[in-house]
Amino acid sequence: MKLISWNIDSINAAVEHKSDRGLMTWGVLEGIAAKQPDVVAIQETKLKVDGMTKKQKEALEGLFPGYHFYANSSSARKSYAGTMLITKDEPIMVDFPAIGAPGEMDQEGRIVTAEFEDCYVSTVYTPNAGGELARLDDRQLWDDAYRNYIDGLNEKKPVIFSGDFNVAHEEIDLKHPKQNHHSAGFTDEEREHFTKLLDAGYTDTLRAMYPDQPDIYSWWAQRSKTSKINNSGWRIDYYLVSNRIADKVEDIHVVDTGARQDHAPLELDIKM
């Protein structure tokens, strides 16, 4: 199986591609489609609550003819968050779960899960702890609820799950760890909860394949014009798998997006 996961930061911006960045986003999406992956997972779709517009649907169906589309959109805030799975084969079942998360998090369209014969494939857009860590307490409750949800799937079948987890796990996973120790995405609390997730029976596929390799990042801040040029980034996007299928991973890497900043896709090849 070939799977690709990406925080696209607005499907509409990609489909419209009226700005230079929109053109780059559309180009990345075209590149993903050309690989003919079995599953594409997208985060931060920012779709309307009732899903894709006619134009968006036609554009994506043009890129992925014959594929199946499953979108979970935010009903809490307009054009916010949201996730999607695009699958070559029709799943046995698709779920848009509520996991008992705090506040409006369960209404923000943050998870889509598809069941296939040999595994579950799920994607997540983890809530950010926010400016001045205003949402950190809720974020920790989310992490606990999400881990319990994944564990429930894992009891039935192995799980392949990906997304923007909004945390750099270890110091190797961002360029400037010391300056960011109290920043959202690198607090002790967020890192400890990610460790709890892995310890529950899951493998960080990229770090397993490249345990000591620095400077592998998946996100570069847009507000810094030189972040991508200097590779001053963070690794906050992941493909995780149940430990019992970790030996089936054949390749995992960050897809090159050229000059485009923000998130880059991850590509996973796994023998299932």
* This model's pTM is above 0.95: yes
CA 207, distance to chain mean position in Å, is: 16
For the stretch 45-69, pLDDT in tens is: 999 999 999 999 999 999 999 999 9
Backbone angles phi, psi at 222, to 5 degrees: -70, -30
Whether 7 has a binding-site annotation, put simply, is yes
Residues 6+ apart with CB under 8 A from 129: 135, 136, 139, 166, 184, 185, 187, 190
80/24 Cα distance (integer angstroms): 21
Q: In total, how many domains does the chain have?
A: 1
167/82 Cα distance (integer angstroms): 18
User: Angle 127-133-137 (CA atoms, 0-180°, nearest 5)?
Assistant: 65
Residues in the chain: 272
Whether 263 has a binding-site annotation, put simply, is yes
Whether 118 has a binding-site annotation, put simply, is no
CATH number reported for the structural domain that contains residue 225 in this entry: 3.60.10.10
Whether 166 has a binding-site annotation, put simply, is yes
Active site residues: 125, 164, 263
Residue 146 lies in domain:
2-270
Helices (H), 64-176: 136-154
Per-position pLDDT tens, the chain of length 272: 999 999 999 999 999 999 999 999 999 999 999 999 999 999 999 999 999 999 999 999 999 999 999 999 999 999 999 999 999 999 999 999 999 999 999 999 999 999 999 999 999 999 999 999 999 999 999 999 999 999 999 999 999 999 999 999 999 999 999 999 999 999 999 999 999 999 999 999 999 999 999 999 999 999 999 999 999 999 999 999 999 999 999 999 999 999 999 999 999 999 99
54/75 Cα distance (integer angstroms): 19
User: For residue 211, what are its two tokens?
Assistant: 């345990």
| DSSP bridge pairs for 41 | 5, 85
15/29 Cα distance (integer angstroms): 9
Cβ atoms of residues 162 and 268 within 8 Å: yes
- Percent of the chain scoring above 90 in pLDDT: 99
Backbone angles phi, psi at 160, to 5 degrees: -115, 115
Q: Sign of the CA dihedral 138, 183, 109, 251?
A: negative
Residues 6+ apart with CB under 8 A from 155: none
For the stretch 206-257, pLDDT in tens is: 999 999 999 999 999 999 999 999 999 999 999 999 999 999 999 999 999 9
Cβ atoms of residues 109 and 83 within 8 Å: yes
